């Protein structure tokens, strides 16, 4: 009798709820949607089967929204046979890189705002962090940027200042 209970427990562990299966399929569909947005070279780096690569290439030709939805479901089914973890890792690295770029961009924007609203102390602080920066060029850009702000003109010098900060 104890063997019957053990086999029933194992059977219950192997059962996955219908909701869980749907969640997994939706996750694979989202991966499929993101894969469509990648370049062909990136697909090949993932070591997909030829069937998967062909299906991804086919997605480039589909124009109808409904046909694309069906195709994404097909990609999700094909992804079951592929290494989905590798794909998720690729996207997490890409998302992380994008997040770092965004943080860097915001940091540069804050420096630009501080330089345009601040005095020589802010410029000296920046120059202590970036000793290779051209002090005279920075002063010219800051002066022109402040003038643009005061006159409410198009921020050409402010953009140049941001570009210069980015080059540092």
Whichever domain contains 142, its CATH number is 1.10.60.30
Digit-coded pLDDT (tens) for 75-102: 888 888 877 677 777 777 777 777 888 8
How many other C-beta atoms are found inside a 10 Å radius of the C-beta of residue 91? 14
pTM: 0.48
The 3-state DSSP class for residue 36 equals: helix
Residues near 146 by beta carbon (within 8 Å), at least 6 away in sequence: 116
Q: What are phi and psi of 46, to 5 degrees?
A: -85, 0
- 78 and 96 assigned to the same domain: no
Digit-coded pLDDT (tens) for 49-71: 888 888 988 999 999 999 999 99
Whichever domain contains 63, its CATH number is 1.10.60
Q: How much of the chain is in helix, strand and coil states, percent to nearest 5?
A: 80, 0, 20
- 61 and 96 assigned to the same domain: no
Number of domains in the chain: 2
Residues near 95 by beta carbon (within 8 Å), at least 6 away in sequence: none
Residue 2 pLDDT? 47
Both tokens of residue 89? 């890792």
Structural domain including 63 reads 2-82
Average pLDDT (158-167) is 88
- 103 and 137 assigned to the same domain: yes
- 77 and 101 assigned to the same domain: no
């Amino acid at each position: 009798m104890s063997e019957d209970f053990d086999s029933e427990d194992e059977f219950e562990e192997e059962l996955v709820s219908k909701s869980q299966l749907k969640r997994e399929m939706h996750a694979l569909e989202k991966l499929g949607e993101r894969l469509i947005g990648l370049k062909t070279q990136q697909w090949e780096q993932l070591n997909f089967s030829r069937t998967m690569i062909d299906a991804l290439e086919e997605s480039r030709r589909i124009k109808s929204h409904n046909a694309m939805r069906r195709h994404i479901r097909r990609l999700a089914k094909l992804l079951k046979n592929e290494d989905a973890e590798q794909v998720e890792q690729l996207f997490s690295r890409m998302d992380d890189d994008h997040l770092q770029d965004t943080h860097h961009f915001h940091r540069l924007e804050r420096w630009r705002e501080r330089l345009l609203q601040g005095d020589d102390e802010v410029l000296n602080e920046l120059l202590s962090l970036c000793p290779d920066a051209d002090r005279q060029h920075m002063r010219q850009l800051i002066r022109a940027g402040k003038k643009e702000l005061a006159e409410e003109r198009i921020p050409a010098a402010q953009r140049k200042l941001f570009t210069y900060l980015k080059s540092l």
